[in-house]
């Protein structure tokens, strides 16, 4: 019971923080909308996409990238959450969290769940705007995408958590942007299907194929059409478990993560 009380409080706190940061909410929406409305419009004419599952007919580029942009929201939010952990740690509230008598792994998982809930809210807002713009999915897809978003959010949040345990300064977040977020996003199936990538480079295709973000995006893409992509689900879960283990190891007090901080 006390575990659930803590989970509720941590999610509520994150939601309160998020609603107060209106700039963050708008930025989180503007980014994918710019891609959808500007970038996709430009590429719509240049890129013709052949029919591959889950699509049953020829689709335009803007339809193709919506699931990838949902993944982008989850990815950026997971990383933003890791930034706030570094910030939290400097402000001391992470210390408060870690001195609670609940198991440390549960406290960190609560943080992950909290940031994932925020990501899901953002994705649904984005999907609403996309629907107004004319891009819709089967009604069941809007329900089926929720578990996919949660799994993707936990996996990417765990990545952020693992990174935050090794970052000691806020400035290093710029490095994370350059060396983690952008490569992860561009070397995935978010913006172009893998077979397109294979046409230009087999190596890049292989890198994309092992990128866990690719699998998260494909899981979301299939879910939006109310279909299950079991290999993508499996890969995302596997990556999530490994990254979570790394994050918990990073926050092990015996390793003295906070040791460097004094």
Binding site for another protein (CB under 8 A): 1-3, 5-6, 8-10, 12-13, 16-17, 20, 91-93, 95-103, 107, 253-254, 256, 258-259, 262
> Quick check: bond before 32 cis, omega within 30?
no
Cβ-contact 160, 82 below 8 angstroms: yes
At closest approach, how far in Å is the CB of 113 from another protein?
14
- Residue closer to another protein by CB (options 219, 257) is 257
Question: In the structure encoding, which two tokens stand for residue 160, read together?
Answer: 């952020």
Q: State how far the Cα of 215 lies from the Cα of 239, in Å rounded to an integer.
A: 10
- Residue closer to another protein by CB (options 89, 221) is 89
- Within 92-186, residue ranges assigned H as helices are 93-98, 104-133, 139-164, 172-176, 182-186
- Residue closer to another protein by CB (options 90, 202) is 90
- Residue closer to another protein by CB (options 2, 57) is 2
At closest approach, how far in Å is the CB of 175 from another protein?
24
Q: State how far the Cα of 52 lies from the Cα of 65, in Å rounded to an integer.
A: 14
At closest approach, how far in Å is the CB of 255 from another protein?
9
At closest approach, how far in Å is the CB of 107 from another protein?
8
- Residue closer to another protein by CB (options 23, 139) is 23
At closest approach, how far in Å is the CB of 27 from another protein?
18
Q: Which of 112, 39, 114, 118 minimizes the C-alpha distance to 73? A: 118
Question: In the structure encoding, which two tokens stand for residue 3, read together?
Answer: 């575990």
């Amino acid at each position: 019971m006390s575990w659930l009380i803590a989970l509720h409080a941590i999610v509520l706190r994150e939601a309160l923080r998020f609603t107060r940061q209106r700039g963050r909410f708008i930025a989180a929406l503007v980014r994918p909308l710019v891609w959808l409305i500007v970038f996709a419009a430009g590429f719509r004419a240049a890129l013709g996409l052949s029919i591959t599952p889950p699509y049953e007919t020829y689709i335009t580029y803007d339809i193709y990238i919506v699931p990838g942009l949902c993944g982008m929201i989850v990815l950026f939010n997971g990383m933003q959450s890791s930034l706030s952990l570094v910030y939290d740690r400097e402000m001391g509230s992470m210390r408060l969290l870690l001195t609670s008598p609940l198991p440390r792994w549960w406290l960190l998982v609560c943080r992950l769940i909290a940031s994932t809930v925020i990501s899901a809210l953002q994705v649904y807002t984005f999907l609403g705007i996309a629907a107004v713009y004319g891009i819709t999915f089967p009604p069941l897809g809007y329900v089926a995408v929720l578990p996919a978003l949660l799994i993707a959010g936990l996996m990417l949040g765990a990545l952020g958590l693992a990174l935050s345990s090794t970052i000691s300064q806020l400035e290093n977040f710029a490095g994370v942007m350059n060396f983690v977020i952008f490569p992860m996003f561009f070397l995935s199936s978010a913006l172009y299907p893998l077979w397109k990538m294979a046409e230009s480079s087999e190596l890049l295709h292989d890198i994309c194929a092992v990128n866990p973000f690719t699998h998260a995006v494909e899981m979301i893409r299939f879910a939006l059409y109310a279909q299950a992509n079991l290999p993508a689900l499996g890969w995302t879960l596997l990556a999530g478990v490994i990254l979570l283990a790394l994050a918990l190891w990073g926050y092990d007090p015996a390793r003295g993560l906070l040791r460097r901080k004094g």
